Structure 1
Amino acid sequence: MNEGQRAVLEAQGVTRAFRQGPKRIEVLRGIDLRVSAGASVAIVGASGAGKSTLLHILGGLDRPDTGEVRVGGASLWELSANRRGAVRN
Structure 2
Amino acid sequence: MAYTIVSDNCTGCSACEPECPNAAILGTDDGLFRIDPDLCTECIGFFEEAQCAAVCPIEETCIPDPDFVEEKSALMAKKVQLHGE
TM-score for both structures, normalised by structure 1: 0.26
Larger radius of gyration between Structure 1 and Structure 2: 1
Higher relative contact order (CA 8 A, sep 6+): 2
